[in-house]
Amino acid sequence: MADRRAPLAAGIGRSLRIYYGDADRTARMEALYRRFLRPGTLAYDIGAHVGDRTAAFRRIGARVVAVEPQPAAFRALRLIHGRDTGVALVGAALGARQGHTALRVNTANPTVSTLSAAFVDAAAGAEGWQGQRWDRTVEVPVVMLDALIAAHGAPDFVKIDVEGMEDAVLSGLSRPVLALSFEVTTIHRAAALNALSRLATLGHYRFALSLGEGFALPDDWTDADGMARRIAALPPEANSGDVYAVLEGHELVPAGGAG
């Protein structure tokens, strides 16, 4: 058992170094999230992995619900945040319906573990994804975002990063939330486009796109159709980014403003 766990433990260790070891990245990330959160607000970290976003939300003073289905990453989350009464940890995936499903684990690079077979298929042979292997499968529970809200309260901000299942997460939501972000990848744009369509059925949102992990929030907000065109036009080398959505009438904290 120790021999089987060693590669995955090394992968989680790599994630910890990447996501906690870069002070400049951490500062940019926190500055961005201060646009969405103030002390006492509630954030959902969907696809929390090893919890660097959860840590940023807590430094701002927000309470956090951190959701992570991957057992090894959830153990790291529990070690880092388990004693914090301001963090609720949920060991599950989010989806369109309650139940169980198969999580495909990339033991060498567990940050891209996924529930999406389409995401795995799209990565095969794609530029920048060479050598990625989803070499282990584990059954995990699935809950709906509506159920999470019923249990923990309506969030002020929801961050969704679930490797090609962003649309499934939003399919489990039946009411608008004030603000959220979801990942987009150029190898599997359909998930992001479907997420946009789902949000359009829930309320009137404006959207902005931040590429990579620069944590810069552009000023050129657009509607769902405009964002769909931007996503479709992304060159493959853009690889990934995050779409930010804000409900009409909800104002962000000014850049550089008090948290």
- Write down all domains in the chain, each with its CATH number in brackets: 12-97+141-247 (3.40.50.150)
List, edge to edge, every strand of the sheet that includes 157-160.
Answer: 87-90, 63-67, 42-46, 157-160, 179-185, 240-247, 205-211
The reported pLDDT for the residue numbered 2 is 44
Q: Enumerate the β-bridge partners of residue 93.
A: 142
The reported pLDDT for the residue numbered 127 is 87
- List pLDDT tens digits, range 141-200: 999 999 999 999 999 999 999 999 999 999 999 999 999 999 999 999 999 999 999 999
pTM across the whole model = 0.94
CA atoms within a 13 Å half-sphere pointing along the CA-CB vector of 204: 3
Distance CA(18)–CA(169), nearest Å, equals 26
Give the pLDDT mean for 202-230: 94
- List pLDDT tens digits, range 46-82: 999 999 999 999 999 999 999 999 999 999 999 999 9
Distance CA(99)–CA(140), nearest Å, equals 9
CA atoms within a 13 Å half-sphere pointing along the CA-CB vector of 159: 26
CA atoms within a 13 Å half-sphere pointing along the CA-CB vector of 107: 11
Backbone angles phi, psi at 255, to 5 degrees: -55, 130
Cβ burial of 45 (10 Å; 0-12, 13-18, 19+) is buried
Give the pLDDT mean for 219-242: 95
Answer yes or no: is pLDDT of 258 > 70.
Answer: no
For residue 118, the SS3 value is: helix
